[in-house]
Amino acid sequence: MFLMRNLGYTWFKTEGVLNVKVAYLGPQGTFSEEAAFRYFSSNKVEWLMCESILDVLDAVKEHRVDKGLVPIENSIEGTINMTADGLLMDEFFIEEEVILPVSLHLLTMKGVEPDQVEEVWSIPPALAQCRNYIRELRATSKHFNSTASAAKTLRDQARKDVGAIGSEWSARMFDLQVTKSNIQDHGENCTRFVLVGRHENKLTKGKKTMLVVTPNEERPGLLAIILNVFSSLSINLTWIESRPTKKKLGTYRFFIETEKSLQEDSVRKAIAILETYGHDVLVLGSYNTTKL
């Protein structure tokens, strides 16, 4: 593998026959990198590591890569709004849903014991998810912009009084020790990623379908009316999220994920009914789920 840096991006290239170019959210050692590398473990990939979610989507839009992997939801923190809004900026199409179990660990320099840790570094959500353990340590906390940057800084400074909260993947990347495993307050923690391609390459045979419904007017009970269309057709919904239209205060559009394929007659009928009511319906993807 070799890498080259250019204009704020980092390209990684594997040796052998190239199958696909993929962008993901950096820096090195993040959960996003782990999800990308594990999902494409059997492929020859040219990687583009980006500094933000929007940079990943821009790389797909500008044909610099074939696909982009971005986080869209965490089971504890909820929807990642930047991803939801970014998916509407161009004709993207979700090709796969990727679920990564998130286990948070206390990472330290090798040989350090937990009672030596006086300060804990990580991103605010990770610190919040490990609040009880940090209190047990009686340690202070310091915010970083990623779990990976906290781990990298710890490695670079080699401090024995500091621990970083991050993944086992990050520990391997920066040669740190997993001093205490699974320190998060809630055991069932997962992050959901979506693999995004360009709309012209869309596939429509997945077991789930993502729609974005933009109402033609605002009136009482509007969301209930929209959801009743799916209920009346016995379509189970697995995710509902409202986002501002950014056109007028108090106006929203709705991300609606169905547990049925776009090929199903009931889903096509639901779309037809909603459009008959005058609502705009965008098909954002039809995809399957991969659990890592």
Average pLDDT over residues 144-168: 94
Cis amide bond preceding 27, omega within 30: yes
Q: Are 72 and 238 in contact (CB under 8 A)?
A: no
Same domain, 168 and 215: no
What domain range includes position 151?
105-180
Amino acid at 278: G
Q: What tens digit of pLDDT does each residue of 106-148 get?
A: 999 999 999 999 999 999 889 998 999 999 999 999 999 889 9
Distance CA 66, CA 43 (A): 13
Same domain, 92 and 155: no
**DSSP letter at 190?**
E
Question: Would you say residue 10 has pLDDT above 80?
Answer: no
Same domain, 85 and 194: yes
Residue 292 included in any domain: no
Other Cβ atoms less than 10 A from the Cβ of 136: the count is 12
Amino acid at 225: I
Number of domains making up the chain: 3
What pLDDT, on a 0 to 100 scale, did the predictor assign at position 202?
A: 67
Distance CA 122, CA 156 (A): 15
Same domain, 94 and 7: yes
Same domain, 79 and 142: no
| Both tokens assigned to 202 | 């869309």
CATH at 172: 3.40.190.10
Same domain, 159 and 258: no
What Å distances lie between residue 93 and 162, 272, 274, CA to CA? 42, 20, 20
CATH at 229: 3.30.70.260
- Per DSSP, the residues of 271-286 read HHHHHHTT-EEEEEEE
Same domain, 87 and 13: yes
Spell out the residues 6+ positions from residue 244 whose beta carbon is closer than 8 angstroms to its own.
251, 252, 253
Same domain, 135 and 238: no
Which of the four pLDDT bands, split at 50, 70 and 90, describes residue 256? very high
Global pTM value? 0.83
Average pLDDT over residues 195-211: 83
Same domain, 196 and 215: no
- The highest-confidence range among 25-34, 211-220, 266-275, by mean pLDDT, is 266-275
What pLDDT, on a 0 to 100 scale, did the predictor assign at position 166?
A: 93
Question: Would you say residue 217 has pLDDT above 90?
Answer: no
What Å distances lie between residue 249 and 81, 241, 246, 252, 254, CA to CA? 17, 17, 7, 9, 15
Distance CA 242, CA 245 (A): 9
Same domain, 159 and 33: no
Count of residues for the chain? 292
| Both tokens assigned to 218 | 């605002």
Angle among Cα 126, 113, 136 to the nearest 5 degrees reads 50
